Structure formats: C-alpha cells, structure tokens
Structure 1
Amino acid sequence: MAIVEEVSEEEHTGQPGPRSAGELLRVVQELSKRLALPEDLLPSFLNEDKPGAAEPELRLKLRDLASAALEIYKDHAISVLRQIQSHVGTSAWGGMSLENQATVMLDVTHLYGSDPWTSQDIKRMIDGKHWCNWVTLTEELSLSMDRPAIALHLLTHPIRTWFANPHPMLNPETARAMARPAGGSDAMMDFQDAPSQPWKHAAAWGCHNVLRWSVSQLDAGQVEARIGVILPPTLTLMDDWEPPWRGRGVSVMESWVNQLDEITMKRMGMDRLLLNSLLHTLELHPSPPLPHVLPATLRLIERTTDGANKAEILAEVMQKAIVSGWTYAPSGPEGRGVLVEIAKEVEKMCDVLGTGIARWLKASPTIVPNLLSPLQYPPTPAVALHFKANVSALLYVMRTLRETTRVSRWRGQILDVLGRLWVHLVEREKEDRAVGGDRSDGDDSGFVAELKGLVRSIVVELEKQCPDMRNDELQRMVQLDEGVFGGLIRVSA
C-alpha cells in the first residue's frame, strides 16, 4: 500500500522563511515534489481501463484497496499546498525566474482535476476561490506571478514534450485540419502505439490536469494565438483508444473551445475535427459512462452548425449516442450502467429536438420498445436504477410529444408492459411487508414506491393523450383485478 511521507505544518513555518530566491527555490521545489503520486497508486490509474489489465471484479478490489491510501494522499497534498502557499507572494518568490515558478506550478497542477487522487477542496485551493478562510494558492501566486506566462511556459515545454508525436489529422506547422491523415490509413493506429504516447507514462501522471489548468489561464486572444500548442494535445486525448482518456480530453476541450469564435474554428477545419471525435466517443458507450460528452457535443453543434447541416448532425448524434447503444450495449451489470446513461440521454435529446424526436418512434430500433423491453422482468434492487431511468425517459418522451398524435399507436404496448410491471411492484410490496423489510437481496422499499409513482404518471399522461382509454383499456384493467389495478387507475378514472 502507498506510503505517503508525513509533512508537519511547522516543518517550514516554524522558522523564518527563506530570504533569497535561491533559498526559496530549494524549499518550494522540495515541497512540490512531495505532491508526486505514490508509485504503487500509479498503475491502477494508468492501467485502469486497459482491456485485460484486470478482470472487473479484481479491478474493483484493487480500487477499494487504493481508496484508503488515496484519502491519506489527499490530506497530505492539502498540507503541502498550505506550506507552498505560505511562501508565495513573498519578495523571495517574486525574485524567482519564470521557469522556476513554472516548475512549482507543474507539480501543483497535476492535482487540478476530478481524479481519484484529488478533490474539490484541492481544486478550489488551486483554482482561486476562497476555501476555509484561506487566501487561495492561485490568488497568492497572482500577486507575484504572471499566470498566463506560466501557462504558456507549461504548454510550450513539458506539455509539448509529452505530446510531441504529431496528430495525423493536424498540420504540424499550422494546427489546421487535414483532409486525409498524414501517413495513410494506418496512421491513427501507429499514432496510438504505446511508445509514441509518453503522456501515458508514470512521469506524466495528471498531464490532462496540467493542460486544463494552463489553457484556463488564457484569454480569447491568447487561446487563438497559441492554438498550435493547445489543439494538438487536446485532440490527442480526445482521439485516444481508451474511452476514459477521451473523456478527459473532452473536459480539456471544454475549458478553451468557447474562447474561439466560430469563424476561426471553421477556417481551421477545427469544428468538424472536434465533432468527429466527439461523435465517435458517443458511439463507444464505455463502462463507466462519460455523461459530460453529450452535453459538450450539443454545445459545439449549437455554436458551429445550422440549418440542414445541424439537423443531419443531430440525427447522427441520435444514431450513435442512443440507437447504437441499445444495439451493442454489453450485458450484465456493466451494460446496465450504459443503458441508464442512454435513458438519460434520451431526455436530453428530447430537449434539443422537441417534437422532432418523433422521427425515432418509427425508425428501427424505435425509442418506445427499447425503453419498455427491460421493464418486462421482475424489479429488484440490482435493476432499480435502470428501471427508473427507462420509465422516467418514457414519461419525458410522452410529454414532449403531447401535442402530437404519435404516442397513441404505442398505447397498447405501453399499458401492457407497465401493467405487468405494476403487478410485480404490488407483489414485491406485499413481500416486503410480510418479511418486515428484511430481504436477502438487500431490498430498499423506496425504489418500489418511486417506480409506482412514475408508472402512475405515465398512465395519467397516456389518458390525457388518449381520452378514450378511460372507458376502454383502463376500465377493463380495473374490472380484471381492482385490488391490484385500483391503485394505478383511480388517479385517472
């Protein structure tokens, strides 16, 4: 297990601080090096998503074992950051060279993210927001450090070294998109070969955080002027073969892309290059999912497309993010997490497309059958999130299409599946009462009540859109078994 060297609060604050830049450099570099992630925690991060690195069960066990050490490390990191903070803003700090200040910030900004080894408290401490009544590290640094200059130094030195291998779809001189990959059809495979990816080596841990912090320090003019050192590493991350790295690349992209105007993006061919990468990521449906990719894609589409082109790309989003996910999602618990995310994405696409979502009521595979299909099985705690996500998405689709007549053709299938689900829920509720809530499967009766509420809402919505159901299907269901269906139908009868 990781061993983190303990650093006392008084180690550097109990004596007068360094008076010269040279003395301070030795002190803060010693401190910043103590922020390095312990070596035995690095493999679990660097290999966490490589196929064959570990079976899912073993991977989970390794993560559990590492979690305690990571908590110790995070406490240690905050202690070290406090001590660095006590030295910045001093006259000695102001006397340090740009390169030396950048060396310290390189070690600090490895922690600027949402990774297992960092926390929101650490990020806020670096990010320039008040936390626990301390003046934050970045605010102190800004007193005696040109942050954009430090950021540019990091972009043009360590980051450029890590990402030295040119991206096949970018002109290495201008960072403009190329029509065909340099090196031919196999260029992307060669590009992703391990020896050409030093940014994945242990020495570059947290490289995406350093990149993200650096670009977040630049204004719009600086981003445009330095796009040649910003776009290549961002796109390298976004096009990686491992989905988690692609997700990290999307987070980096989001930190600078809004600084560029649409004309510049289109002139460089960057808009389509980024969209192609995002669309491919949506099609991968990794486990765990990457929920921030679809919103990022939709924002970029909104900024860079319009008219028929926008409609075509949104249709491509539906196909890759949702339809292909239903077709190719893995089975078992891993697949359920993917399907839960797809159901949430259906709701997001309803907001974007409005009644245009009706197109996918008749396309194959269609929305309604795919949302209903898992609901035919008995509800258990293991599938509770999946059931709730699908029922919620179905209700969202129905409300989106309320002013159309498109839902009525599905009323029989909806009522059939949800009627069966209601029977399962009523039976499970009875079983819970019989055993006093002490079930071997770890049941939480709360999910039953929540699901019942969602099913009732769908029946109410269905009746609003198909009023003749009141004296037809709904009445027959109550007549069939009022004890079971009375609780479902009476709210709309």
Structure 2
Amino acid sequence: MDALRSAAREYLKNADREKSPEFNPDGLALPEGLDVLSRDVLDRSSTSHRELCESLLVAQASLRAWGSRPFSETDRKAANDLYGWLVRISLPSPEFADVLEVAYSADEEKHKPLTDSLRESRFQLSLAVSVICSLSTILPLEEASNVVDVVVTLASFTSEKDPWTTEQSYRQALEALGAYVSKMRSDDTSSLWSTLEEILKSRIKPLFAKTKNPAITSTGRKNLHPMPGTRFDYSMLDPETKPWKYRDVYCTTVFTWALSTYQPSDTVHVESHFPLIVPPILSLIDDENISFKTRGCNLLFTLLVPLREGKSDILRRTNLSSVFEDAITPCLLSLPTITPEDESLQLLGAAYPALLSVLKTRYPRTDSDPSSRSSSSTKGKSHEDDRTAYIRSITQILRISIISSFHHISSNTPTASSPIASFPYPRLSTFLLQQLSIICDELRIHVTKYLQDIIPLLYSTLTNPFGTAHIPLLLAATTATRSVILNAHPRIWRWRGEILGGLCTCWLHVLDEEKEIAERTEKDRTRPIADISPLSRKTDSDSTVSQLARLKNQLRGCAYLLKVVLISVSEQVNVDGKFQEENSLGLTEDIDVEKEFGELVTADESLKDLLFVDISPSDVDDLFR
C-alpha cells in the first residue's frame, strides 16, 4: 500500500486539475480484498485535500482492478464502509455558493472563473464520483446499506451548470443513477419510491423548512386563511433561513433529479409526495435571485408533466393552482429596464411555459369534438365550467402579461414625435410574439374579442423599416399573424387592410434588404479581402440570406392563408368569392378579394410574388414551418 500511495502522490504533483484523473499504477501490487483497502483509507483521519486525493486514487486503482473476483461478506461490509467514507467527502462544500448564483445566470459576462481552491475541490469531487461508480460495479447501489446517502451524493452531480461538476462526473453520475432507477423499476418494488420519499423528507424538506410561505399549509395544501405578511420581510436577507442556497448548495440539483425521475405512470407516487414537493418549488420561485426563480419555474414545469399526462386532478383537489399562478405572475413583470434583457429572457422563458402548464393541468384540455364529451349532464356542465375558467385565465395572460409587456418594452405605436415604431429589446419582443402565437392557439375563436389589441401590435412590427436588422422578430410577427388568421378567421375580414398592409410592407422591406446585400456582395468581389469590413462580412453572411428567404416563404404562406380565409368566410361568401361589407355611410357593398389583391399588385408589381403565388401541397411545409 505504501508503494501505491507513493505512486499516487507522484501522480498528483503533475495532474491537470482541469481534466479527469486517470491513475494507472502498472506493476504495483494492489490490495487483495476490499477490507484491506477499507482499513487503509479509513484509518487515515486526515482531511487534507492532498491525502484525500491520494486515498481516492488508491481506491480507484484497486476497484478498477477488481474484475470478477469472488465477493465475500467481509468484502460486502468493507464496501459499505467505503460507501460511507465516500459520501462524507463527496458533497460540494458551501464555498461554491458564491459562484453558484452566477453559474445559472444568463449573462455570461457575470460568470466568474473558479479560484485555485475551488478547482482543487472540484478535482477531488470528480475523483470521488469516479470511485463511487467503480464501487457500484462491485456492490450495486440498491444493495448498499446507505443507499439514500449514495443516491443523494450522485444526484448532486446531475447538472452540468453546477460549478463543482465536471463533464466526467456528470456523465458517470447520470449513468449510475440511470442504471439504479432502471433496476428498481424492473424489479417492481417500492424501494425506489421509499428512497425518493426519504430524500424529500429528510434531505430536502429540512433545508427549506425555514423559508416559510403563508400561501400553503404544512400539509402542502392551499392556506384558506393566510396571515397577512409584513410589507418587507427582513428574514429573507438572513442566510440562515436559506441553507439550500448558502450552505447545502447541492440540494436544488438533488431535488431537480428527484422530480425528473417521475413518469406519467407514477401519478400515485407523485401525489403521495406532493406535500414534500410543493414548498421547495414555491421557495425557489419566490427567491429574489433571477437564476433561482428560473430553476423554480422549470421544476414546476417538470413536476406537472407526469401529472398532466397521467390525468391527475391533484391541483383541483388541493386548490393549489391559484397558489402557483400567484407565485409565477410576478415573475412576468421582470422586464427591462429594471431587469436586464438577458435575465428577463431567462426567467420569462421558464415562467410562461410553467404558468400555461399549471392551467392545462388544473383544467384538462377540452376539445370541441362532441364525441370527447361525456353524455352525463353533470359531467358536461363540469366540462363547460372548466373550459370557461381556462379561457378566462388564458385571457388574463394575453391582456395583462403579453400585450402589456410588449407595449412596455417597445414603442410600437407611432406618434407625431416618433412616426416609426421602435424595438429597443428585439430579442425580448421576439419572445413575447412567440408567446402570443401560443396563447392565440389556446384561445382559438376567442381571439376575435381581442383583435383590436393584437392587430395594431402586429402591424407596427411588420411595417418597421428597420425590422430586417433582427429578422427573428419579423419571423415571430409573421407566425403570430398566421395564428391570428387561423383562429379568428370568421372576423378577420374586418382587419384585412391592416394585415395586408403589414405583410406587403414587410415584403418590400425584405426585397430592399436583399437588393442591398446583392449590391454589397458585388462591390466586395472587386475589392481586396483586407478592405472588407468585418461588419459587412457578418451582415451579408449566408445565415442572413437564408433567414430572409425563410421570411419571404412565411409571408407568402400568410398572404395565401389570408386570401383563402377571405374567400371562404362561412356566413358571407357566395359563388363569386364576394361578400358584403357595411361602409361608413351604413350602406353595404360587394368586396371582391381577387380585385383587391390585384389592385395592390397594380400599384407595385413586386407584390405579385407575394399575393399571387401558386401554392401546391408540396409547398406547405416550406411556407408554414
């Protein structure tokens, strides 16, 4: 053992702390049994980084060389002793708390390089995970006497973003835990669920116990009589109330792994663990830090997937849907200029899907197909009540969150002093338009009630002369326009002028941009490469050209869809493709769709490729993707 330790000591002197350790002591004698190895590492009481790494390298080499040797009861006891030693030295320390917050930040400029001390610690943790995985090939995790401790330790390395996790430790931890979960599921025993319950009850719950939430009871249900809180809770500034954030920094990652284990077939187990799951999620969402809020929203979404697919009604029974809504809704207000655009995108990108998932789980999606409804009048009434409540909640998201947020971050209504709409946060505006498309598809025909709010917003975006500077914004606006046309088609004819104006103006701007790119490309051909500015090369990249081509296809598809809808409006169409419109004098007049489109092409011939393009079934994927 002394020679082996000496070799390990020499290896550590030149080991690269940024790479995974690979110690192969060729020609040296290894311990004959696990009891010899166990005694050697446990008899050393030193906790110094150097000696711990030496012991881990010795253990790694010995376990990898075990092969198919006979496994005795003495070896089993020694293996359990080794597991106990490994879990004591393998959990990330509180010193990672300072860099954990920024590790999940959307702003890469805030990411801090690890100090030498943290790199040393990460090296030791990566080595410890490797040893645990090697030991699990000899004594499987499910046979370990401290299986909960071992699972918690491995689960601490299941997030690549954590500063203590390396690529190797992440991969090895996932492989070992995946094999353990698969084995437990195949054995069809309750061991997996008892292990998860013990983790939630003894490892997660105590860490979040001091972070109180008056909206829920101790049993995880909605508190119908919450005590009014103070205007500012000073305890939120006390690190002692949030050990999960400042001391046991790994627990959120363990919690995330535990929730990812549930499947739709595990609804019974999820519901039994629900009181242990809800408080930590709400604590994360209510945290003042954007990165932890984001993790809380992502965890809620993860939790609701098996519940929704398993058709669980636990949100209705516990009345917790309103609690989740109240927790997430303030997150939607994290907008510039108070919140930086990167952080706003990070949080809203998790909050909107989580909120929509809450509503879909609380009010299971009810289709209009009569065959999907129950013949029972009681169930039919419940069906309609759920649908009404769902539409009401979705409408709140549209009016109070999406439209208001879009107006807040942009000047999308031209004024006398500023005739051009402006979008100072184009990425965030693009995201909100994407959410608008999703919400319109959820509202379906109910979108018609809000066309007066939606159409001007889309028009100002599509007609912006500087829109091609950020093509994803125009793509999102075109997709949203298509969604509005599809869902509000019975009333869209009243807004055909604004929609056509937006599509045609955007089309002309795209043609102008393509012309400018072609001219710059032609000039660059006759100039030396050194004289071409980097900005010009970037602007005229193949990506920009392909994005413009995609935008043109989407505009064509949107215009074609609008024409089809206008011609086939159910209660107003006739055989000639005309319908009646009441003018400002109260008189009715025939509207000829083909004629109106033709007048636009007469005014500008370049619109012909937009408004009178031949569409075949094979073109649908290109035009509407």
TM range (shorter): 0.7 to 0.9
Structure 1 residues 14-48: Cα deviation after superposition (integer angstroms, max 9, x where no partner): 325593445554467548856748957x5444146
Correspondence 1:323 to 2:403: yes
- Asked whether the 8 Å contact 1:176–1:268 carries over to 2, the reply is yes
Shift of 1:429: 1.0
**Per-residue Cα deviation, 1:259-298 (whole angstroms, up to 9, x for no partner):** 5976544443323212322334345452235435434433
Of 482, 485, 491, 2:607 maps to: 485
Number of the residue aligned with 2:237: 193
1:198 Cα deviation from its structure 2 partner: 2.4
Match of 2:349 in 1: 291
- Alignment check: 8 A CA contact 1:25 1:96 kept: no
Structure 1 residue 106 and structure 2 residue 134: aligned? no
User: Which residue of structure 2 lines up, in the alignment, with residue 271 of structure 1?
Assistant: 321
The 1:449/1:206 distance shift into structure 2, 3 A limit, reads farther
> Quick one: structure 1 residues 26 and 76, their matched pair in 2 at CA, closer, same or farther if it must change by over 3 Å?
closer
Counterpart residue number, 1:374: 461
State the alpha-carbon separation in 1 of the partners of residues 301 and 476 from structure 2. 27
Aligned residues: 467
Provide the rounded CA distance (Å) in 1 between the counterparts of 2:546 and 2:132.
48
In structure 2, the residue matched to 1:162 is: 207
CA distance in 1 between counterparts of 2:459 and 2:171 reads 43
Q: CA deviation at 1:469?
A: 5.9
| Separation (CA, whole Å) in 2 of partners of 1:461 and 1:415 | 11
Residue matched to 1:247: 294
Q: Given that residues 6 and 76 in structure 1 are in contact (C-alpha distance below 8 angstroms), is that contact kept between their aligned partners in structure 2?
A: no
Residues 398 and 407 in structure 1, CA contact (< 8 A), matched pair in contact too: yes
Secondary structure at the aligned position of 2:62 is classed as coil
Q: Deviation at 1:389? A: 0.9
CA distance in 1, matches of 2:296, 2:216: 19
Q: Secondary structure of the equivalent of 1:488?
A: helix
**What one-letter code is carried by the residue in structure 2 that aligns with 1:486?**
K
Say whether the 8 Å CA contact 1:463–1:469 is kept in structure 2.
no
Distance, in Å, in 2 between the alignment partners of 1:345 and 1:339 is 10
- Label 1:5 to 1:490 Cα distance change in 2 as closer, same or farther (>3 A): closer
Return the letter of the residue paired with 2:297. Answer: V
In structure 2, what is the equivalent of residue 8 of structure 1? 22
User: Counterpart of 2:21 in structure 1: which amino acid?
Assistant: V
| Distance (whole Å) between structure 1 residues aligned to residue 462 and residue 325 of structure 2 | 34
Alpha-carbon RMSD = 4.3
Alignment partner for residue 433 of structure 2, among 343, 352, 360?
A: 343
Q: What residue identity is the alignment partner of 1:84? A: I
Q: Give the alignment's TM-score, normalised by structure 2.
A: 0.63
Q: Say whether 1:19 aligns with 2:75.
A: yes
Which of 372, 385, 398 pairs up with 2:485?
398
450-459 vs 267-276, which moves further: 267-276
TM-score (norm 1): 0.78
- The SS at the match of 2:346 is coil
Q: 1:29 to 1:275 in 2, by over 3 A?
A: farther
Name the CA distance, whole Å, in 1 between partners of 2:459 and 2:125.
48
Superposed CA deviations along residues 325-363 of structure 1, whole A, max 9, x for unmatched, are: 21323799883222222222222223222111112113x
Identity of aligned residues (%): 19
Q: Which residue of 2 aligns with 1:53?
A: none
Distance verdict in 2 for CA 1:400–1:183, change over 3 Å: closer
State the partner residue of 1:231: 278
Cα distance in 2 for partners of 1:316, 1:293 equals 15
* Matched residue, 2:41: none
* CA distance, structure 1, for counterparts of residue 120 and residue 493 of structure 2: 57
Give the whole-Å Cα distance in 2 for the aligned partners of 1:451 and 1:75: 48
Residues in 1 aligned to 2:612 and 2:123: alpha-carbon distance in whole angstroms: 56
The letter for the 2-side match of 1:153 is: E
Matched with 1:303 is: 361
Distance, in Å, in 1 between the alignment partners of 2:428 and 2:60 is 50
Counterparts in 2 of 1:263 and 1:454: CA distance versus 1, 3 Å: closer
Between the two structures, name the one with larger relative contact order (CA 8 Å, sep ≥ 6). 1
User: Structure 2 vs 1, CA of residues 380 and 345 (structure 1 numbering), >3 Å: closer, same or farther?
Assistant: closer
Alpha-carbon distance in 2 for matches of 1:430, 1:491: 21
Counterpart for residue 101 of structure 2: 46
Alignment of 1:71-470 (within 5 A): 81-88=129-136, 90-91=138-139, 96-98=144-146, 101-113=147-159, 115=161, 126=173, 136=179, 138-139=181-182, 146-170=191-215, 173-182=218-227, 184-186=229-231, 189-190=233-234, 192-195=236-239, 196-201=241-246, 203-217=247-261, 219-257=266-304, 258-259=306-307, 264-284=314-334, 286-305=344-363, 306-329=386-409, 335-362=425-452, 366-379=453-466, 382-402=469-489, 404=490, 406-436=491-521, 439-443=536-540, 444-467=544-567, 468=591, 470=593
SS of equivalent residue, structure 2 residue 213: coil
The answer to whether the Cα contact below 8 Å between 1:74 and 1:119 also exists between their aligned partners in 2 is yes
What amino acid sits opposite 2:256 in the alignment? Answer: R
**How far off is 1:93 after superposition?**
5.9
Which sections of structure 1, spanning at least 5 residues, go unmatched? 51-55
SS at match of 1:422: helix
Aligned CA distance change for structure 1 residues 292 and 173 (closer, same or farther; 3 Å) = closer
